[in-house]
């Protein structure tokens, strides 16, 4: 079985997100990934009309994985979870709005000793798929990633185990 780059990226994403379930076993991660893909009813309806474009599939897959993680962590009272979808507003890709959203998440996660902060669709918010990736946009994206990493490290409670994931 040969996997393309996007499939392999999704597999490693699932393995990282669900490491406490999979125990770093890629076979179990593949089973979870397959279950997510199979249960996306919207995708099945869209595929019936024609082949689904990769960006649409990736966005739907990421959203389904985030919902599954949210449900999983809601049953673990000692583990906090916050998901920020950067594509919700037009201004999410700017440092000011990104800072406000991440600070909201960090405040919500502060009481937990272990927590996960999941940030999705940041790249499409800064570098829209319909537009060309210029060196300036690429630099803005890299700067925003570095800013959010530094902000998270600086504003996380000492002794907390916070996992920051960008998807």
Q: Residue 121 and residue 144: Cα distance in Å, rounded?
A: 13
Distance CA 167, CA 165 (A): 6
What Rg do the C-alpha atoms of the chain give, in angstroms?
Answer: 17
- Tell me whether residue 68 is in a domain: no
What does each C-alpha distance from 164 to 5, 42, 77, 109, 141 come to in angstroms?
22, 28, 19, 12, 16
Q: Please give the Cα distance from 18 to 69 (Å, whole number).
A: 8
- Domain limits at 29? 1-53
Tokens encoding 128: 């829209």
Determine, yes or no, domain membership for 63. no
Q: What is the pTM of this model?
A: 0.69
User: What does the alpha-carbon distance between residue 121 and residue 66 come to, in Å, rounded to a whole number?
Assistant: 12
* Residue 66 falls inside a structural domain: no
Same domain flag for 93 and 43: no
Quick one: pLDDT at residue 147?
A: 94
Establish if 130 belongs to a structural domain: yes
Assigned domain for 85 exists: yes
Same domain, 46 and 95: no
The tens-digit pLDDT sequence of the chain (167 residues) is: 556 777 777 777 777 777 766 677 777 777 777 766 665 555 556 555 555 455 566 777 777 778 777 777 777 778 888 998 888 777 777 888 999 999 999 999 999 998 989 888 888 888 887 778 889 989 999 999 999 999 999 999 888 889 888 87
Domain assignment present for residue 5? The answer is: yes
Our count of domains for the chain comes to 2
Residue 122, both tokens: 């940041």
């Amino acid at each position: 079985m040969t996997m393309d780059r996007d499939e392999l990226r999704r597999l490693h994403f699932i393995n990282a997100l669900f490491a406490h379930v999979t125990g770093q076993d890629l076979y179990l991660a593949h089973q979870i990934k397959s279950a997510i893909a199979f249960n996306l009813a919207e995708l099945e309806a869209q595929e019936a009309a024609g082949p689904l474009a990769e960006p649409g599939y990736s966005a739907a897959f990421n959203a389904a994985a985030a919902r599954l993680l949210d449900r999983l962590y809601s049953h673990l009272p000692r583990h906090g979870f916050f998901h920020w979808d950067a594509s919700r507003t037009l201004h999410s890709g700017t440092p000011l709005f990104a800072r406000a959203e991440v600070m909201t998440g960090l405040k919500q996660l502060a009481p937990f000793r272990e927590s996960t902060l999941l940030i999705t669709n940041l790249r499409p918010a800064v570098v829209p798929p319909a537009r060309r990736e210029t060196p300036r946009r690429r630099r803005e994206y890299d700067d925003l990633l570095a800013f959010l990493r530094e902000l998270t490290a600086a504003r996380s409670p000492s002794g907390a185990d916070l996992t920051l994931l960008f998807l």
